[in-house]
Amino acid sequence: MEYNTNREKISIREYGRNIQRMIDYCVGIEDREKRNLTAHAIIKIMTQMNISASKTQDYEHKFWDHLHMMSGFKLDIDSPYPLPEKDMVSKRPERMGYNNNRMSFPHYGKNIEKVISAVTEMDDDEQRDAVVLAIANYLKKSYLNWNRDSVDDETILKNLDKMSEGKLTLKEDAKMISTSEALSNPRKQKNIVNKKVSNFKYSKKRKRK
């Protein structure tokens, strides 16, 4: 019995060993016209094997590139597309850089920092106070997701002050939600914040017009 581990490696495994054998046979055909016809026949089979890929843009170009790659760039045919560069195929992709944007409080998330930045531009004091309270409640909820122990409101307000660079403060008579309320309704405060900020941005765009 012959095992795959003892056979030659397939350059693109998704097409299988039979397609690889067809391509190897095609490379060995001496008559150029017959070699061209065989190559087109192999492309049709590759297309039928990859119906989902055949619905994408430039799918045929991709199959011809794969045909040349699987032949080890030895296939001499009249290809309808330029041959892929061998060096580009074997070239390793460039290393992707990581996002270096550091957050002061990672457990709150990056989006809430953007929301806080937008709220600092609000002119309507009444609306702004309502959103600040919603943000404070959301921060409390997020903190409890990260740490299930009870958190005092003073800690949340200090974090809010630092995240807003002292631009957002909670009114003295404003009352934050309790720990039990924050845990029982985890998405409510986030939805409130998003809705109020969206309304503010929409009204701001209308004023500019």
pLDDT one-digit tens code per residue, 25-36: 999 999 999 999
Q: Could you read off the pLDDT of 104-120 as tens digits, one per residue?
A: 788 888 888 888 888 88
Q: Provide mean pLDDT across the span 162-183.
A: 86
- The answer to whether 67 and 42 are in contact (CB under 8 A) is yes
User: Where do the structural domains in the chain lie, given as residue ranges?
Assistant: 4-90, 106-193
- Average pLDDT of span 68-80: 92
Specify which of 42-56, 96-110, 183-197 reaches the highest per-range mean pLDDT. Answer: 42-56
Report which residue type is found at 203. S
**What gap in Å lies between CA 112 and CA 152, rounded to an integer?**
20
For residue 52, how far is the Cα from the chain centroid? Answer: 21
User: What is residue 91's DSSP assignment?
Assistant: S
For the chain, what percent of residues have pLDDT higher than 90? 29
Q: What is the DSSP letter of 96?
A: P
DSSP code of residue 93: P
**H-helix or E-strand spanning residue 199:** helix 188-208
Q: How many CB atoms lie within 10 A of CB 46?
A: 25
Is 192 a residue whose pLDDT tops 70? Answer: no
| Distance, CA of 158 to chain centre | 33
| CA–CA gap between residue 27 and residue 23 (Å, rounded) | 6
